[in-house]
Amino acid sequence: MSNAIEINNLLFKWDNKKDFTLKIKNLVIENKKKIIIFGKSGSGKSTFLNLISGILSPTSGNLTIKNIKVNNLLQNKKDEFRANNVGVVFQQFNILDYISPLQNILLPCFFTKFKKENKEYFYNRAFDLAKKLDIKKNILLQNNSKDLSVGQKQRIAILRAIINKPYLILADEPTSALDNKNKKNFMNLLMNVCEDEKVTLLLASHDTSLKKYFDSFINLENFN
C-alpha cells in the first residue's frame, strides 16, 4: 500500500512564540487509512491539519502528500492542490444558513474542477451521494439551510467534504458539540463514506472514545 503522507524533520513555530508548536522527525500515513490525532488543548492538532492542508507552511522540514512536496509549492499552487485533493469537515459543520443544502454541498466545486468540467456531473454526484445518505431531493433544494436538523447538517457536511472526490479528508473536532447519539451516527456515516470513496481520513479530537473507529492513532504529545 502506498503512502498518502510522509513527514520528515518537520518543525513549526508561530512567529510570536519562542518554542516550536510541532516537532515531528518522521511520520508515515498509508493511503486509505483512517487516523485519529489526539493531544491536549494547545498540543497542535489544528496546526497539524492546517499544515497538511497547506494553509500553513512548516518552518523547516518536508511534507509530502500524494508524492508531492507541498511545502515547496508556491502559495497559489498550494491553494490549487488543496482544492483538488483535500476535503474538510469543520468543527460544528459550518453549514451556511442562507443558501440551500445543495449549494452548501457544491461550495468546494467553485474553487476547482467545477469551472473546468461539466457542471451537470457534480450536480448528479451531489444527488446520488445524498440519496445514499437518505437525504431527499426536496430537502436539497429548499431555499435555505437554517431549519436542517443536526443529523441533516452532519450529512450535508460530509457530502460537502467528498463532493470533489478528494484524496484526503481532514476533520477538526467534528463531534465536540454532539451528544452521544449524534456522535455515534456521525462517526458511522463518516467511516462508511470514507470506505466507499476510498479516501484517507485524518480526524483531530480530544475524545479518546473515538479511537475504536480508526485504523490507528497519532498522539502529538509524543512528538513534542
Residue 158 reports pLDDT greater than 90:
yes
The fold adopted by the segment(s) 3-222 is: Rossmann fold (3.40.50)
Strands 68-69 and 60-65, how do they pair? Answer: antiparallel
The residue type at 51? L
Q: How do the domains of the chain map onto residue ranges?
A: 3-222
pLDDT at 113: 60
Contact indicator for 202, 171 with CB cutoff of 8 Å: yes
Cell of 52: 497538511
Q: What's the pTM?
A: 0.91
Residue 114 reports pLDDT greater than 70:
no
pLDDT averaged over every residue in the chain? 91
For the segment 102-111, the average pLDDT, to the nearest whole number, is 90
pLDDT at 124: 92
pLDDT at 116: 58
- Each residue's pLDDT tens digit, 179-190: 999 999 999 999
In the chain, pLDDT over 70 holds for what percent of residues? 96
The residue type at 85? N
